[in-house]
Structure 1
């Protein structure tokens, strides 16, 4: 098994689009989001978004979408892992852990104070997250602006 983590760019739109569509469909509790190459191209060219891709035996098997953010409490910066997805056929092979490690290493090089992420309650990935991270001392809340979107 050859696993390689790379930073994805606009040239990766065709291979990232199906993964983001799968991820969206897996989380949406209603109509799936309109994920197409135009949207993924905009995502990859967004000035604040970075996407790490996990290539497993040469195929894109997962991704982690993250941001570098100011962190007011520490007067430093922090990382926010906003989306992490591994194709079902690649799960259990260390892909998610490798993505998290890669992003954390990037954060260490940038002097982040921490890397944080939210996890849906009941997620099957929680045991992995408990092995590679510690629970945060805060709760998450949401103000639903567009109530047609549910996840």
Structure 2
């Protein structure tokens, strides 16, 4: 199998990315999945603060990592925030997620980030992978729910 990381997806990738974002949303939502369609994904790809790397396995887009380059007040530097990471179930166990994380971390090294961080839902099967490729952060995550109709 041939795994290739696409450094930055753009509008031309919207058709291929839309089903993955929809699958990801459906997998995490408790209740109705969000209305993910191509116009939404095009807006996401055009957003000025979002970057999305992709992963192809044998030419098929099977995963993505959505991340931000953010100021980090404590260190007076910048940090990466990996906000969403998804790999199609059939493509798991082929190193896709670890390669996406490594690619984004390499971007962070080039940009002098202090770290790359991400949140993981409790009970996620991906935690085992993350424990192998990263270390637990010394903080807890909290959320103020503004729109209580969205539950993940």
Which band: TM-score by shorter chain? over 0.9
How far apart are 1:44 and its partner, in Å? 0.1
Structural mapping, 1:107-122, within 5 Å:
107-122=108-123
Separation in 2, partners of 1:34, 1:71:
32
How far apart are 1:60 and its partner, in Å? 0.2
CA RMSD, 1 decimal:
0.4
Q: How many aligned positions are there?
A: 151
Separation in 2, partners of 1:10, 1:67:
18
Q: Secondary structure at the match of 2:39?
A: helix
Q: Secondary structure at the match of 1:42?
A: helix
Q: Secondary structure at the match of 1:79?
A: strand
How far apart are 1:147 and its partner, in Å? 0.1
Separation in 2, partners of 1:112, 1:30:
37
1:23 aligns with 2:19: no
TM-score, normalization: structure 1? 0.99
For 1:37, the equivalent position in structure 2 comes to: 38
Separation in 2, partners of 1:127, 1:29:
23
1:9 aligns with 2:17: no
Separation in 2, partners of 1:44, 1:57:
23
5+ unaligned residues in a row in structure 2: which ranges?
A: none
For 2:101, the equivalent position in structure 1 comes to: 100
Structural mapping, 1:2-151, within 5 Å:
2-6=2-6, 7-151=8-152
Which ranges of 4 or more aligned residues in structure 1 deviate by more than 3 Å? none
How far apart are 1:71 and its partner, in Å? 0.1
How far apart are 1:21 and its partner, in Å? 0.2
TM-score, normalization: structure 2? 0.99
Separation in 2, partners of 1:108, 1:59:
28
CA distances 1:30-68 after superposition (whole Å, capped 9, x unpaired):
111010000000000000000000010000010000000
How far apart are 1:76 and its partner, in Å? 0.2
Separation in 1, partners of 2:38, 2:123:
31
